[in-house]
Chains A and B, each alone.
Chain A
């Protein structure tokens, strides 16, 4: 009984739940006999991230084929995100959430991505939890890895 309770307690930790979702296909049903992460699993996580980063990079740089494939219209002016934000500069993902002057709202990075799509780029804003949004977010974060976390910094 005691052992069982401990396993359930572990399963309730959010990070664990996420990890299980990602590797469910490899380990099958949850069991009490958990093993440490294997190098193969870690490689898989990294590959999954980099595939999102790659798609995000292409969307961010206005790649028409990727936009079409993901069924999004991020711009109608010829402008792409990277034209004002080379290497995802001046996006400051590490400063969100924060008060956003452009929208007069306490905003997330995703809110701001949509604002840029709709206003300067005159595109069609995308679903907040869509594949394209996750890819863009992955690329922006990946490119800014190493910047210091400063919530709210204008």
Chain B
């Protein structure tokens, strides 16, 4: 696994990171930090003492917006039914309240997938009910947890087409479906829908395989969608999975990232914002930059290998505080043509690792994939 990953990473470096090929200069990262004041509401409880002073990360992303605006991102809520788990419900409520309280308000919300935990009708409907309190325009892309119980039937009824595009104040936005084109691992093994979903809902499962991908049909659609767009104008692409290769065993990638890069190559200001990883991530591939967002539910640890060198890691979360290591984001497009991504991590004043012991990467790991899920049936 590691050798294969090494090989692909060398290839990615050779193909996509040729000398001089980077996101446009206006896309350089300049991190500034400041204390956010607009979040001072709601009931503080134990463990949240520090939660109201998130350190905000600023990344200058794009330019040429016609007017300043901001939008919000929430993803990976992984809702169970209320009767089983209210912890995740509480955190969605909190995120929704905080987005609703933004002043000036966000122009729209992107929901980045994994609304449900096991793809159940009740879970998806609970998500709709909770997000109803948010009155701004909402756009949804699916996560794998939303999809594989009924193959997207309920999700489609609730949210419509999983990929879409719109222009807003000089920026072209695209939502991609990176989850629905997984290989069929269930028919031969005669799995029930619940069994199919169970394998898909296990991040380190070995049965569902390399399910994350954009697909030729959707790549063609994206190419057509961008055909009339000025090569130097900003594009923001939302996807559940990162559009590059980070760690395939957890589908922290799309398997057709090479083709994605082919389509995006002519455009110089492409920003990809993605969920699924439940962690702070930053990478540049060719002329695209990619930013990983927090979950509201729980943080995933960084993978044992492949963390992009450009990522400033987030702090290791306190496992006893389920408001730590999670949160939501605002993306702020300024009058000076810059876009700031702000991580609002509830448990923390400092989102980023300040010293070695605060980083899960300070203790290297060598891990084996699990074995029991391939012994079918159990």
- What residues make up the interface of A, taking CB atoms closer than 8 Å to B? 50, 53-55, 57-58, 61, 63, 65-66, 77-79, 82-90, 92, 95, 102, 116, 119-120, 142-148, 150, 153-154
User: Does the CB pair B378–A87 fall under 8 Å?
Assistant: no
Q: Which of A65, A84, A148 contacts B319 (CB 8 A)?
A: A84
**Are the CB atoms of A87 and B370 closer together than 8 Å?**
yes
A77 to B298, CA, bound (A): 13
**Chain B positions 320-378 with a Cβ under 8 Å from a chain A Cβ:** 320, 322, 357, 360, 363-373, 375, 378
- CB < 8 Å neighbour of A148 from B320, B364, B372, B378: B364
Of A54, A120, A145, which contacts B371 at CB under 8 A?
A54
**Which B residues, 66 to 97, have Cβ-Cβ distances below 8 Å to chain A?**
80, 84-85, 87
Cα distance, A102 to B368, chains bound together (Å): 27
A65 touches B378 (CB 8 A): yes
B367 touches A143 (CB 8 A): yes
- What is the bound-complex CA distance between A55 and B320, given in angstroms? 26
Task: Tell whether, in the assembled complex, residue A89 and residue B319 are in contact, meaning their CB atoms are under 8 Å apart.
Answer: no
B319, A61: Cβ atoms closer than 8 Å: no
With a CB–CB cut-off of 8 A, which chain A residues contact B360? 90
19 A-B pairs, CB-CB below 8 angstroms? Answer: A54-B371, A54-B375, A57-B370, A58-B372, A63-B372, A77-B84, A78-B80, A82-B202, A82-B370, A83-B298, A87-B367, A95-B363, A120-B320, A143-B368, A143-B370, A147-B364, A147-B366, A150-B363, A153-B363
> Measured between alpha carbons, how far is A154 from B359 in the docked complex, in Å?
10
| Residues from chain A with Cβ under 8 Å of B373 in the complex | 57, 61
Which chain A residue lies CB-closest to B321?
Answer: A120
* Cα separation A146 to B320 with both chains bound (whole Å): 28
Q: Are A86 and B301 in contact (CB under 8 A)?
A: yes
Is B304 within 8 A of A89, CB to CB? Answer: yes
Which residue of A61, A66, A77, A148 is within 8 Å of B85 (Cβ)? A77
Q: B203 touching A144 by the CB < 8 A rule?
A: no
In angstroms, Cα B204 to Cα A152, docked, is 27
Complex alpha-carbon distance, A50 and B369, angstroms: 14
Residues on B with C-beta less than 8 A from A84 are: 298-301, 319
Min CB–CB distance B234 → chain A (angstroms): 34
Residue B249 interfacial (CB < 8 Å): yes
Task: Please report whether the interface of chain B is mostly helix, strand, loop or mixed according to DSSP.
Answer: loop
List chain A residues, Cβ under 8 A from B80.
78
Interface size of B in residues (CB-CB distance below 8 Å): 34
B204 CB contacts on chain A under 8 angstroms: 82, 86-87
Cβ–Cβ < 8 Å partners of B368 in chain A: 87, 142-143, 145-146
Partner of B378 from A66, A150, A154 at Cβ < 8 Å: A66
CA gap between A86 and B373 in the complex, in Å = 13
Of all chain A residues, which has the CB nearest B297? A83
**Per-position contact with A for B190-203: 1 when CB-CB < 8 Å, else 0?**
00000000000011
Contacting pair B366 A92 (CB below 8 A): no
Q: A59 — nearest CB in chain B belongs to which residue?
A: B372
A86: chain B residues at CB < 8 Å are 203-204, 250, 300-301
Q: How far is the CB of A105 from chain B (nearest CB, A)?
A: 14
Contact B320 A78 (CB under 8 A): no
B117 within 8 Å of A (CB atoms): yes
How far, in Å, is A32 (CB) from chain B's closest CB?
40
In the bound complex, CA of A153 to CA of B360 (Å):
11
CA A146 to CA B2, docked complex, whole Å: 13
Residues of chain B lying within 8 A (CB to CB) of residue A87: 204, 249, 304, 367-370
The answer on a CB contact under 8 Å between B319 and A116 is: yes
Instruction: Return chain A residues, CB-CB under 8 Å to B364.
Output: 147-148
Q: Roughly how many angstroms separate A54 CA and B372 CA in the complex, as a whole number?
A: 5
Question: Which of B84, B249, B299 is in CB contact (< 8 Å) with A78?
Answer: B84
* B202 contacts A63, C-beta separation under 8 Å: no
Give CA–CA (A147, B305) in the complex, Å. Answer: 13
B301's partner among A89, A144, A146, A148 (CB-CB below 8 A) is: A89
By a CB distance below 8 angstroms, the chain B residues around A83 are: 203, 298
Residues from chain B with a CB closer than 8 A to the CB of A78 are 80, 84-85, 117
User: In the complex, which of the residues A66, A87, A153 has the most CB atoms of chain B within 10 Å of its own CB atom?
Assistant: A87
CB-defined contacts of B300 to chain A, threshold 8 Å:
84, 86
A154 touches B357 (CB 8 A): yes
The CA-CA distance from A63 to B360 in the complex, in Å, is 27
Considering only residues 44-62 of chain B, those with a C-beta below 8 Å from chain A are: none
Instruction: Write the chain A residue with the least CB distance to B206.
Output: A87
Using Cβ atoms and an 8 Å threshold, which residues of chain A touch B85?
77-79
Against A, the Cβ 8 Å flags (1 = close, 0 = not) of B299-325 are: 111011000000000000001101000
Q: Which residues in B have their C-beta under 8 angstroms from that of A55? A: 372
Contact B84 A58 (CB under 8 A): no
Q: Is the CB of A119 within 8 A of B372?
A: no
State in angstroms the CA–CA spacing of A55 and B303 once bound together. Answer: 24
Neighbouring B residues of A89 by C-beta, 8 Å = 301, 303-304, 365, 367
Q: Complex formed: what's the CA distance from A50 to B249 in Å? A: 22
